Amino acid sequence: MDIIDVDDWRIIHESGFTSEDFKQYRPVVYSNTIQSLVAILRAMPNLGITFGNNERETDAKMVFDVIQRMEDTEPFSEELLTAMKRLWSDMGVQECFGRSNEYQLNDSAKYFIILDKFVDPLGSQSCCIFQLILDSLCSFLDDLDRLGAKDYQPTEQDILRTRVKTTGIVEVHFSFKNLNFKLFDVGGQRSERKKWIHCFEDVTAIIFCVAMSEYDQVLHEDETTNRMQESLKLFDSICNNKWFTDTSIILFLNKKDLFEEKIKKSPLTICFPEYTGAQEYGEAAAYIQAQFEAKNKSTTKEIYCHMTCATDTTNIQFVFDAVTDVIIANNLRGCGLY
């Protein structure tokens, strides 16, 4: 759970990322890519999956050696990149990736591993069989020169796909509709919550963000606990907390694009055994929304819910317009002017 993704607001309401920001995210892209591949490789024996080609064992050893030497944030050598390509195309690796709900894997994994398949200076890699989570295939094919260049710098969309553990509190200031906003991104990890939950008694609104696509996944810090069930518990504790009695609650059911893809093959009953509806986006998403709204014990507090895709800044812009209107209306209401 995050209160909000600060990076999205930096793109929409600040001047965007600086050249230094792009430079700093480059090693994050490299690290996310190889760490995600390693997560798949490590999960394979636990799931009883073997490589489709035994020669991939050598490639896997090379990848593990890079991690052991702590070189995962460095640009990929030609030899390493070739090994990663072979591993990613291996049937066993693909089978394990298809079962990623059974172990910890970033949503960005497929995105970045596919990007790296495209880093082919000869342009000989056939790309037509891959489904991209974020962009259409053509946008990547048009950008192969940039991705393969030694001076490659991440795009805004690349940055939005990266994953860096959020700890502590990150604060962003911006102006919108002639109002000054302070936005706080708080740590969602269990061990981080005690650092912030008591600090925001007077906040105007809480934006509670839940990854819809994590309904079939478990926590990093407790692999016996379902992520969405944990989010429901946290939402319950915040929504009904004495410190937030008069605070507007805005619920973002995020990653709707990934959820729409996943619900077709991974049943919602993994998280909600009592669910009897169809395994399709509309009905399943409505059910999830109802589960969160049912946690509200107040007869006067309204939950404002939005289905979002954080990597789609146009969608986030629209939602933030609506959220801002809610905040302004509530402030005016509190002053007796609405």
**29 carries a ligand binding annotation:** no
**165 carries a ligand binding annotation:** yes
Query: What are the backbone dihedrals phi and psi of residue 211, each rounded to the nearest 5 degrees, phi first?
Result: -80, 110
CA angle, residues 39, 41, 44, in degrees to nearest 5: 105
**325 carries a ligand binding annotation:** no
Q: What is the rounded distance in angstroms from the CA atom of residue 210 to the CA atom of residue 177?
A: 27
Instruction: Tell me the pairing of strands 179-186 and 303-307.
Output: unpaired
189 burial type by CB count under 10 A (0-12 exposed, 13-18 middle, 19+ buried): middle
Q: Which two tokens stand for residue 190?
A: 């269990």
**69 carries a ligand binding annotation:** no
**241 carries a ligand binding annotation:** no
Q: What is the rounded distance in angstroms from the CA atom of residue 294 to the CA atom of residue 313?
A: 29
Q: What is the rounded distance in angstroms from the CA atom of residue 282 to the CA atom of residue 260?
A: 9
Encode burial over 254-282: b for 16+ CB neighbours within 10 A, e otherwise.
Answer: bbbbbbbebbeebebeebbeebeeeeebe
**108 carries a ligand binding annotation:** yes
**256 carries a ligand binding annotation:** yes
**DSSP output for 13-71:** HSS---HHHHHHHHHHHHHHHHHHHHHHHHHHHHTT---SSTTHHHHHHHHHHHHHTT-
Q: Which two tokens stand for residue 129?
A: 């069989």
**161 carries a ligand binding annotation:** yes
**227 carries a ligand binding annotation:** no
**257 carries a ligand binding annotation:** yes
The amino acid occupying position 217 is Q
SS3 249: strand
**107 carries a ligand binding annotation:** yes
Sign of CA dihedral 274, 281, 158, 249: negative
**194 carries a ligand binding annotation:** no
**164 carries a ligand binding annotation:** yes
Q: Which residues fall in the annotated binding site for GTP?
A: 107-108, 160-166, 185-189, 254-257, 310
Residues at the binding site for Mg(2+) are 166
Binding-site residues, please? Answer: 107-108, 160-166, 185-189, 254-257, 310
